[in-house]
Amino acid sequence: MVCLLQPSCPPAPIITEGSTRIGVKARFDGTWVRLGNEGRALYDQSGYGRPDDDGLRLAPEEACYLLHRGRIGIEGYDFDTLVAHFARRPEFIRTFLVYRDLRERGYAVQSGPHDFRVFRRGQRPGTGQSQYMVRVLSERDLIDFEALINEALASSRMRKQHVLAVVDDENELTYYEIKVQNLPDAGEKPGIGPLEGVLIGRSALVHPAPPRDEQVAGFGMYLDPGRMILAPLEIIHLMATGSLILRDGGSPVNSDRYFAMVAAADVELAEKAAVYQDLRHHGYIPKTGYKFGHHFRVYSGEKVHSEMLVHAIAGGIRLPMSSISRSVRLAHSVKKKMLFGHQYTTGIQYVEFARIKL
């Protein structure tokens, strides 16, 4: 029986010869796998490929998936030889595994503009809207935060969710939704000061200490009712806002001298100070996150416990995806959000990583 397929025709038949399934005939031109007009049903009904004047053009991941499922047949190639050909590109196995997983979950998938565009369930190219922009990574890849922010913001402008699909060394997949945000204001907090402090090491001893009811501002540690110790980041912030005068042996210490002294022992001071001051500016109370392995645990003031872990990232710094994965797992286990504060061109941008199930 000969069927001239039109867009309204049923799916191309799969012919069985013994135990071998033979799908629509395709040819490989060395770059693309191409089908004639009889292959258009794959696009019209399931969103595979891109229409060409003379039929359909399949991306490598699509071709391998369809060949593996028996939906197409390619003269001179079986699944093993076609995958081996495309695997000359080092990242191909990762992208194929992610494509396969998304298809098996019921999504229509197209390549670009990152690695994949993923359509809402039940929708497909030409008639539906994509929901996710997916970037495929290895667990060993380094995350360039500036590039990640640019991609996530581009997805946001298109009203799409930005997702990282991470393939580990055993070829298992984990999906992370990426949100880039300027933190909303947490509400105005009580002020503190003016204070005078005496330099003790890299800390400051404030005497007399402010009344305890001002401690809701989250500064310092009280030694006794009359004495409070301020930590370096608190000192830098309070000096910048004019709320603290610092003295060393009776002589005033200016903010530049103090910053240089502390920076000599803390190579991350600049980025931590920038994020700390931004959090304070938005009404949050940042405290050390040392027990959680990060720079800050952050309170909004609305709950007893901290709600976020924040790690400050300087411009140009890249972190291993495996390290970020550990951070996200820890944050979720203690019911907190995991954010990375990056010194972006427009100020501090907070990048949230959250594990999701598609």
337 found inside a domain: no
Question: Of the ranges 19-28, 242-251, 271-280, 319-328, which one carries the lowest mean pLDDT score?
Answer: 19-28
Catalytic residue among 299, 337, 344, 350: 299
216 found inside a domain: yes
Catalytic residue among 294, 336, 337, 342: 336
pTM of the model: 0.85
305 catalytically annotated: yes
Domain count, the chain: 2
Give the end of a domain, one of 89, 122, 139. Answer: 89
Q: State how far the Cα of 279 lies from the Cα of 274, in Å rounded to an integer.
A: 9
Q: What is the mean pLDDT of residues 303-320?
A: 94
Catalytic residue among 291, 303, 305, 357: 305
Residues near 269 by Cβ (< 8 Å), separated by ≥ 6? Answer: 232, 259, 262, 263
pLDDT recorded at residue 340? 97
342 catalytically annotated: no
Give the end of a domain, one of 219, 237, 265. Answer: 265
Please state, in angstroms and as integers, the Cα–Cα distance from residue 40 to each residue in 4, 48, 53, 144, 268, following that order: 11, 9, 11, 39, 56
253 found inside a domain: yes
Structure tokens at 121: 């369930």
Q: Are 252 and 246 in contact (CB under 8 A)?
A: yes
329 found inside a domain: no
- Residues 237-265 have pLDDT tens digits of 999 999 999 999 889 999 999 999 999 99
195 found inside a domain: yes
Short-list 67, 12, 64, 68, CA closest to 36: 12
Q: Is the pLDDT assigned to residue 325 strictly greater than 90?
A: yes
pLDDT recorded at residue 213? 60
Give the end of a domain, one of 216, 239, 265. Answer: 265
82 found inside a domain: yes
Q: What CATH number has the domain bearing residue 261?
A: 3.40.1170.20
Short-list 50, 33, 174, CA closest to 110: 50
77 found inside a domain: yes
The residue that leads in pLDDT, 239 or 8, is: 239
pLDDT recorded at residue 11? 42
Q: What is the mean pLDDT of residues 88-101?
A: 97
261 found inside a domain: yes
H or E segment and range at residue 97 = helix 92-104
Domain that holds residue 29: 1-89
